[in-house]
Structure 1
Amino acid sequence: MIFTCEEHIDIAIDEYVDETEQAPDIAPMDNNEKQCSFCEKKAVYVVGN
């Protein structure tokens, strides 16, 4: 799973597809305690299963 902010959602999707060769599930985050995998912002989406 990749946690991402609004700004980096495209990068997270591309990275997931490159690794798995499948379309990811994208879901809004229920809690905002996770940090974006690409920057210091709070994650708003989780990409993957």
Structure 2
Amino acid sequence: MIFTCEEHIDAAIDEYVDETERAPDLAPVDNDENRCWFCGKRAIYVVGS
């Protein structure tokens, strides 16, 4: 799973597809504790299952 902010959603999807060769599930994050894997801002989405 890759946590991501709005700005890095495309990069997160690309990273997931490169690693798994599958289309990812995309879900909203419902807490303030998770941080974007790319920049450290508050995550809005989680990419992956």
Would the TM-score normalized by the shorter structure come out above 0.5? yes
- Aligned alpha-carbon RMSD (Å): 0.5
SS of residue paired to 2:19: helix
Query: TM-score when scaled to structure 2?
Result: 0.96
Matched positions, count? 49
- How far did residue 48 of structure 1 move? 0.2
Taking structure 1 as the reference length, the TM-score comes to: 0.96
Whole-Å separation in 1 of the counterparts to 2:32 and 2:10: 19
Runs (4 or more) in structure 1 with deviation over 4 Å come to none
Long gaps (5+) in structure 1? none
**Percent identity of equivalent pairs:** 76
Residue in 2 that maps onto 1:45: 45
Gaps of 5+ in 2: none
